[in-house]
Amino acid sequence: MSYQHQWLNGEKIDLPVGKAICVGRNYAAHAKELGNAVPEAPILFLKPSTAIVPLMPAFAIPQDRGSCHHETEIAVLIGQTISKISVDDVPQAIAGYGLALDLTLRDLQNQLKKQGYPWEVAKAFDGACPLSPFIKPEQFKDITQTEFSLTVNGQSRQHGFTQDMITPVYELIAYISQIFTLQAGDIVLTGTPEGVAALQRGDELVLSVVGQSFATKVL
């Protein structure tokens, strides 16, 4: 399914679909649940634009590569090209916020990690980043104090608070910009709270943030 950035009302956003820059282990409880150390600096990895698909009305997961875990994250839409900017300059570069699933082939990732290999094939495959419509920044009273959640088949699965981030949103984007140029239409995925687990075909998901809920289904 083709993807185009859009607002809540369905209006298309006049920005290209770029890369997704992701951060691992940005919530201490999530690092702990996977038996990983809390990093001293953000752990970054990329998903290509071909990984980005619409979250709704449904999305597919691979069926032949082991378990596929959901990782619910605040997604940030970059509205202008930025490089090596300060934290103070970050807000004006943000076009909107949404929710994303950082889909992860966990069995494959664990196997690759044990072998000391990169694990992009477990994180950056086609369709690995279902993405919601975007919400304008002014609808967020404070992105550093934002609650978000995921239910699966009516059961609470993930419940996050951005104040629990190890590296907060603005600081994270400023840090990323020191390494990668961020272009208009790029996405930053800001990390997932604890509660990640395997998805199954037919699962019904609801992702929620700032009073907005996005219902979808696993194909």
Q: In this predicted model, what pLDDT tens digit does every residue of 87-118 receive, in sequence order?
A: 999 999 999 999 999 999 999 999 998 999 98
- Coil, strand or helix at 68: strand
Q: Span 20-217: which CATH code?
A: 3.90.850.10
Phi/psi-derived region of residue 53, left when phi > 0, alpha when psi is between -120 and 50, beta in every other case: beta
In whole angstroms, what is the distance from residue 175 CA to residue 130 CA? Answer: 24
* 188 neighbors 44 (Cβ within 8 angstroms): no
Task: For residue 107, count other CB atoms closer than 10 A to its CB.
Answer: 15
The residues, ordered by sequence, that sit 6+ positions from 144 with a Cβ below 8 Å of its Cβ are 162, 163, 168, 169, 170
Which stretches of 116-191 are DSSP H helices?
A: 120-123, 169-177
In whole angstroms, what is the distance from residue 133 CA to residue 201 CA? Answer: 23
**pTM summary value:** 0.95
* 47 neighbors 158 (Cβ within 8 angstroms): no
Asked whether the predicted pLDDT for residue 40 surpasses 90, the reply is no
Domain boundaries, the chain: 20-217
Best-predicted range by mean pLDDT among 36-40, 77-81, 112-116?
77-81
- What is the tens place of the pLDDT at every residue in 117-141? 988 999 999 999 999 999 999 998 8
Gyration radius from the chain CA atoms: 16
47-50: list long-range contacts, CB under 8 Å, 24+ apart.
47/19, 47/20, 47/22, 47/102, 47/123, 47/124, 47/128, 47/129, 47/189, 48/19, 48/20, 48/124, 49/17, 49/18, 49/19, 49/20, 50/126
Q: What pLDDT, on a 0 to 100 scale, did the predictor assign at position 37?
A: 74
* Amino acid at position 162, single letter: T
In whole angstroms, what is the distance from residue 156 CA to residue 15 CA? Answer: 34
Place of tokens 């995925």: 189
Average pLDDT, the chain: 95
The residues, ordered by sequence, that sit 6+ positions from 159 with a Cβ below 8 Å of its Cβ are 147, 148, 149, 150, 193, 195
